[in-house]
Structure 1
Amino acid sequence: MTHVLIVGSGPTGLTLAIELARRGVDLRIVEKSPEPPAGVRGKGLQPRTLEVFDDLGVIDEILATGREYPDLRSYQGDQVVWEGRMDEIREPSAAVPYPNLIMQPQWRTERILRDRLAALGHRVEFGAEVTGFEQDDEGVTVTLSSGESVRCGYLVGADGGRSAVRKGLGVGFAGETFESERMLLADIRTGDLDRDHWHVWGSMEKQVMYFTICPLPATDVFQLVAPGDGDLVALVAEHAPHVRIDEIVWRSEYRVNIRMAERFRVGRVFLAGDAAHVHSPAGGQGLNTGVQDAYNLGWKLAIGSEALLETYEDERMAVAEHVLGLSTRLYREADAQRGDNTNQLDLAYLGSPLSVGERGGERLGALFAEQRGTGFLQLGGTGRVLPPLDGQKGVILVRPDGYIGYHGDESGLSAYLSGFGIDAPLARAAR
């Protein structure tokens, strides 16, 4: 029996698959599309996601093929009327090794993650759609479009906003779909713009954006984003007649959706990523929040205790609700702040049953090299461990996803571990 069947091979599903694969968990990952996507949807990787990708072993290629967001250049017709940045470029530090938002086309992020998964011995099964499933006390029986019946211990729906898994569970998807608010995305080629700026056309007087054209790193393609769903060639010709579109490589229109599932777990079935929450495009939160879902869930599924699995919904629903509020404000309010509000470094699991002690639930924000890998990290106490941070008293146990689980007297650590079904040898000491 497959231990975990993952439905959906976007960044969320792939992150989860890598997390399970590097722990030796038996898994399958299926995708209804016959082949990997070609167009660019999400393209912003937040600092916290970059820390996750460091742990997963893909950060070097992510940084080598991506780039920091370019300076903005705003036009009226062919005249430059303003230049500047939407964020401040920051230097790395011990606490924040990846301080800047990185632009990386989603198709390439997925390809890098697929390559990492392949190195761990697993591949995405494309063209395999889930047509139904039933669960019982011992597992889940899933039917695929091929007619195959798959028996698994747990099923994870990471299959997007139209999730077949969520619908099969009958879980509500509360929120709004703004039928009149549509966005156009297109990957285009043009020889009339430089690749050092993010080019913007709009009217400051009318407080309206006509369209933006952004160079995608390590490609010869630009991404055009515009409100509405009209003729993009005519739109560009109207406001930027000096810019000729040589080729439209890919295009897509979508409605703005802001929704969250009413449950992230029903029995042995879990929801993650867009299957659990969909965001406005503002602030680059959707893809990144999905990666964090998977990073939270992976190590818990690998250990598999019920007490631990129960914490997934509690922790991630609270984060998703917060992030949905943030991305909605960024979409609605022109002066809403990004930067520290969107980098996801301050997200924490305060109040979670897993968070015990003064610093319980906080991101550790230190010792990133020591945190790499699949185990827990113990700071302070007896044995071969690192000394406390900055004179911090007591023992700190860092979860595999980089958050402090336990902070307190060493005498209480064993009870904490056993209470969540975590075998003591899994709580490795830092060397």
Structure 2
Amino acid sequence: MVTIGSSHDELPRETAGPTEVLVVGAGPVGLALACDLARRGVGVRIIDRAATHPVGTRARGVRARTQEVFEDLGVLGRLTEHAEAPTPTRFYDTAGNVVREAVLYDAPPVPGAPYPGSLMVGQQHTEAALRERLAALGTRVELGTELVALDQDGAGVTASVLVDGRVDGARQEIRARYLVGCDGGGSTVRKRAGISFLGETWDRQRMLFGNLAVDGLDDSVAHMWAQGPDGMLTLSPMPRSGTWFFTAPLPADDDQEASAASVETFAEIFAQRVGLPGVRFHDPVYLSVYQANIRMVDRYREGRVLLAGDAAHVHTPAGGQGMNTGVQDAYNLGWKLARVLRGAPEALLDTYEEERLPVAEHVLASTTARGRSWAGTDTARVSERMVGAFQGRDPFSDVSQLGVTYRGSSLARDLDEALGVRAGDRAPDARVVDPATGDSVRLFDLFRGTHLTLLVFGSRPVPPVDDGAYGEVHVHRIPPGGEAHDLYGVDRDGLVLVRPDGYVALAGGDWDDRTVSDYLGRLSGS
């Protein structure tokens, strides 16, 4: 048994009933993972050391690919109810003149992508929608429950937690087959598991973030001022939340501590940087000081302990990639963890790091480069780059995350080069005709759920699939013609096996009776 530290060994212990997966951290990443596991019938508990659910905008841009994930998890409709209406962003130069006005998140249509733009939703609403979905699946967040130690052996993990944060209270032990740390950049799970967090802290670069009421500004637009080398000062109306979202770089020589963030601090920074008279700040909801860190783990897993989201990677906020990358972590891990718990080889979990670690490396590099390109006082240049990034013209990466691919992964198998789509690619959406009913249906409707999906284009026989041996596989014959053939690059015959997370597992134009069953056998260890 491996024992990983605790400073509370003297406290009395209580033993809780076992569970299959313990998720530590109830932000968007932990909640998305818990929802995905629960809908697959996995026994899951999710704990958070906070005594109450947090409020505030925080991560607010739900990018295109994350919207697709949330649609599959059954929460996108609820998020849409809380989404802010698109408003123009007004960019000002150092003299206060308007240099540009544009709808920042108005991305052009993308073939095969139903949600090309960004959904602007305060994080509190994202978390609330996920908690609601999780509760409908039979699981609730356990607040006031702080992880203090981990023990793991070949059969599982024992998590020692303090309930209600009382140091003099009973220490409870939770036994789980796996534990996933989704507990943020300061992750206790990561530290207790002994996983390195490599990178750097930008001590001289800190940001003020907050939600508060603002008087004296036009609330029909968002406002951005390019005022220095460290980034933009922004004020964005959030009428659904009844607040404004405020961000500003903190002066490098300011000793302001996170605990001391105040309305007065925000007002002083605004007066110094903008100097616009008649603007008043009041009634704060959420205030914080953000310290820029560029760090990531050297591995995503230590035995039966895994990491996701900010616990595994942190970076600058340029491009709004943090929450979105973390949700993609959870979506990649969920189906794999569920299959392993139902008998698949544990090596399947190794593909989580194999596929997601390179993505994190790219996100760190691209957000760093993007953040630097957005800094400065040349508002025309900065605004052009910002607008371009969210409208599909970013030179560093695709901020929509639609272009994330797992090509080259050990789970990606190309039979040949007959198709335009390749194993490891995100499977695009398309309208097809259901041969059984004659109705038009979306491929995403066929993909939705916990199963794999086999698409067969052309007239060749459908290869046999034994659901009992390999798990549930839904098979669909795609009629000739139409946008699916175009988007998947199928001229005649084609076979595409889509993973539960919407990525192509297997693709090609030539196959036999064993092609699909052999691939699925690898996933199931048979």
Deviates further, 177-186 or 78-87:
78-87
Partner of 2:300: 264
* Structure showing greater Rg: 2
Contact 1:65–1:217, Cα closer than 8 Å, also in 2: no
Q: In structure 2, what is the Cα distance between the partners aligned to 1:179 and 1:79?
A: 30
Partner of 1:211: 233
Cα distance change, pair 214–270 in 1 and its aligned pair in 2 (3 A): same
Contact 1:66–1:217, Cα closer than 8 Å, also in 2: no
Deviates further, 374-383 or 323-332:
374-383
Q: What is the CA-CA distance between 1:385 and the residue it aligns to? A: 2.1
Contact 1:38–1:107, Cα closer than 8 Å, also in 2: yes
Cα distance change, pair 88–191 in 1 and its aligned pair in 2 (3 A): closer
Partner of 2:437: none
SS at match of 1:194: coil
Cα distance change, pair 43–319 in 1 and its aligned pair in 2 (3 A): same
SS at match of 2:476: coil
SS at match of 1:330: helix
Query: Given residue 372 of structure 1, which amino acid in structure 2 is its aligned partner?
Result: R
Q: In structure 1, what is the Cα distance between the partners aligned to 2:92 and 2:504?
A: 47
Q: Quick check: 1:242 aligned with 2:305?
A: no
Cα distance change, pair 200–87 in 1 and its aligned pair in 2 (3 A): closer
Q: In structure 1, what is the Cα distance between the partners aligned to 2:57 and 2:19?
A: 32
Residue among 292, 298, 302 paired with 2:328: 292
Q: Quick check: 1:400 aligned with 2:400?
A: no
Residue among 192, 200, 206 paired with 1:182: 206
Residue among 346, 354, 372 paired with 2:411: 354
Q: Quick check: 1:415 aligned with 2:518?
A: yes
Contact 1:296–1:401, Cα closer than 8 Å, also in 2: yes
Contact 1:154–1:268, Cα closer than 8 Å, also in 2: yes
TM-score norm. by structure 2 comes to 0.76
Partner of 2:359: 319
Q: What is the CA-CA distance between 1:38 and the residue it aligns to? A: 1.6
Residue among 368, 377, 395 paired with 2:453: 377
SS at match of 2:209: strand
1:27-42 correspondence runs (5 A): 27-42=44-59
Residue among 63, 75, 79 paired with 1:46: 63
Q: In structure 1, what is the Cα distance between the partners aligned to 2:519 and 2:94?
A: 63
Deviates further, 171-180 or 386-395:
386-395
Partner of 1:160: 184
Query: Which string of whole-angstrom CA distances, capped at 9 and with x for unpartnered residues, describes residues 20-72 of structure 1?
Result: 11111101000011111122221111000000011011111211211355211
Partner of 1:135: 152
Q: Quick check: 1:328 aligned with 2:368?
A: yes
Contact 1:179–1:256, Cα closer than 8 Å, also in 2: yes
Partner of 1:429: none
Partner of 2:399: 342
Q: What is the CA-CA distance between 1:108 and the residue it aligns to? A: 1.1
Q: In structure 1, what is the Cα distance between the partners aligned to 2:224 and 2:476?
A: 52
SS at match of 1:133: strand
Q: Quick check: 1:89 aligned with 2:113?
A: no
Q: What is the CA-CA distance between 1:338 and the residue it aligns to? A: 1.7
Query: Given residue 39 of structure 1, which amino acid in structure 2 is its aligned partner?
Result: G
TM-score norm. by structure 1 comes to 0.92
Query: Which string of whole-angstrom CA distances, capped at 9 and with x for unpartnered residues, describes residues 116-142 of structure 1?
Result: 111111100001011111111111111
Q: Runs in 1 of length 4+ with deviation above 6 angstroms?
A: none
Q: In structure 2, what is the Cα distance between the partners aligned to 1:51 and 1:67?
A: 18
Q: In structure 2, what is the Cα distance between the partners aligned to 1:405 and 1:302?
A: 17
Contact 1:189–1:246, Cα closer than 8 Å, also in 2: yes
Contact 2:321–2:363, Cα closer than 8 Å, also in 1: yes
Q: What is the CA-CA distance between 1:202 and the residue it aligns to? A: 3.5
SS at match of 1:274: helix
Query: Which string of whole-angstrom CA distances, capped at 9 and with x for unpartnered residues, describes residues 305-329 of structure 1?
Result: 2132121010010111111111111
Q: In structure 2, what is the Cα distance between the partners aligned to 1:88 and 1:19?
A: 28
Query: Given residue 426 of structure 2, which amino acid in structure 1 is its aligned partner?
Result: R
Q: What is the CA-CA distance between 1:88 and the residue it aligns to? A: 6.0
Give the fraction of aligned pairs with identical amino acids, expressed as a percent: 43
Q: In structure 2, what is the Cα distance between the partners aligned to 1:50 and 1:167?
A: 31
Q: What is the CA-CA distance between 1:76 and the residue it aligns to? A: 5.9
Query: Given residue 351 of structure 1, which amino acid in structure 2 is its aligned partner?
Result: G
SS at match of 1:96: coil
Query: Given residue 186 of structure 1, which amino acid in structure 2 is its aligned partner?
Result: G
Contact 2:230–2:249, Cα closer than 8 Å, also in 1: no
Q: In structure 2, what is the Cα distance between the partners aligned to 1:345 and 1:271?
A: 23
SS at match of 1:338: helix
CA RMSD of aligned residues (A): 2.1
Deviates further, 269-278 or 333-342:
333-342
Q: What is the CA-CA distance between 1:348 and the residue it aligns to? A: 0.6
Cα distance change, pair 122–78 in 1 and its aligned pair in 2 (3 A): farther
SS at match of 1:190: strand
Partner of 1:107: 124
